[in-house]
Structure 1
Amino acid sequence: MFDAEGKRMNREQWQPFLKRWSEEWIDGHDPERDGPLDEEAVRDGWLGFVPASADEVAAAEARLGRELPPSLREFLLTTNGWRDAGNFIYRLAGTSELAWLADTDEDSGWIDAYSETEFADEDMEPEGEILARSLRLSLDGDAAVMLLDPKDVDERGEWAGYWLASWSGMGPERFDSFYDLMHDQYTRFHSLRRGRGESES
């Protein structure tokens, strides 16, 4: 995977980033404003889970019919799922839970909701088409979802990521990769906490 400067990264570099995220999320938790913390996460100081095995990742790829993009693959080999990916996504999928958005019962409605969007720029691809082919990453959120687009692939093999909330008024927000999408969520939760008067870690 690659960091924000495009340098190659690996799971040994995911680990300290996610550990820092976990510690800062837990330390900054406000029980009066935030949802309850998972007891296991507090005990371990870790919002993730045990790493996926290479066989579990391979099984997910076989089930989905596609090789996963590098940054997601390395993430899963670091933690097989994730709690609290920012303020509005409560749970990210592990290998057995990854699914195409169109194949999900609970989230496929996003596709219909964004299929009637009108575009001022006729060169823009309809949002509904992007969603219809996307991989769903998030399992639970505040009317929000995280996705990867397997058709929008860069020279590194990374799929474009999307963050979408029905209440944002912005439509799907595009990111260059899963890593960039996750880093944005990390940055946003710090921004929101600063906005309510908390100091930055």
Structure 2
Amino acid sequence: MPDRQNDAPAPESRSDTHPWRDLLRRWSEEWLDPVLHEQERHQPFPDEVRAARWLGSAGATPEELAALEARLGAVLPPSYREFLQTSDGWLDTTTSIRRLLPVRETGWLKDLDPELIDLSTGGQEHVDIPDEDYFVYGDDQDPCVVRTEYLTDMLKISHTPEALDVYLLNPHIITPDGEWEAWYLAHWLPGAVRYRSFWDLMNDEYRNFRGDHD
């Protein structure tokens, strides 16, 4: 599988460890607040989740992560690997994404959900997108500017039954620090919202969850 270096500016440098536990703990507490958010969910969270105040699970072991990388034939991007070390899977991030997959269920999109590739690319004429248009992130990004040819090689890391909404990691675009580009593909988008890393995607989704965006 060909990897491609991202020529866009690298994100601001961070420490080797992303503060996943702090972020996910805040996210859990706010989701489980019955006044603020839990009533937005189709069903109440299980009793054991409420008792633990944690929407995730125990972290994946080094052996489990190594087995996943061997199965994929690829080294996981750092922020996603650290997420799995903190919690091997996750319940709802927002009302649109129902579940982040555990190690045992994570896999290539072409193997897990080929129909999604067909739905996202079917009938569309291939258009070459120059780097200067593609490598735009943040508020200036146009969700229509996507390279759909990448979908056949993407890693599927979430599942939402009966919906196109999904998080994907793109091994064709890799930053100098090893992060893969992350996509949020949704039924209501004309394309996808793209991020430099899984860490950036999840932080933006947390802000969306809290309603911090205008």
**TM tier relative to shorter chain:** 0.7 to 0.9
Aligned to 1:198: none
Deviations 1:110-155 (A, max 9, x none): 2112223347765368643111110001022543010000110000
Aligned to 2:55: 47
Q: Which runs of no fewer than 5 residues in structure 1 stay unpaired?
A: 196-201
Write the letter of the residue equivalent to 1:153.
I
Percent identity, aligned pairs only, is 38
Deviations 1:73-132 (A, max 9, x none): 11111000010022211101111111000001xx22121122233477653686431111
Deviations 1:8-34 (A, max 9, x none): 2416x2111110111011112242x42
Aligned equivalents of 1:22, 1:6: Cα separation in 2: 27
Aligned match for 2:124, one of 117, 138, 148: 117
Aligned to 1:99: 107
Question: What TM-score results when the alignment is normalised by the length of structure 2?
Answer: 0.79
Q: Is the 8 A contact 2:116 2:164 kept in 1?
A: no
Write the letter of the residue equivalent to 2:124.
T
CA RMSD of aligned residues (A): 2.3
Question: What TM-score results when the alignment is normalised by the length of structure 1?
Answer: 0.84
Q: Is the 8 A contact 2:21 2:86 kept in 1?
A: yes
Q: Which has the higher contact order (CA 8 A, sep 6+)?
A: 2
Write the letter of the residue equivalent to 2:193.
E
Aligned match for 1:163, one of 174, 179, 184: 184
Write the letter of the residue equivalent to 1:39.
D
Aligned match for 1:108, one of 93, 111, 114: 114
Write the letter of the residue equivalent to 1:41.
V
Aligned equivalents of 1:6, 1:170: Cα separation in 2: 31
Q: Which runs of no fewer than 5 residues in structure 2 stay unpaired?
A: 1-10, 135-144
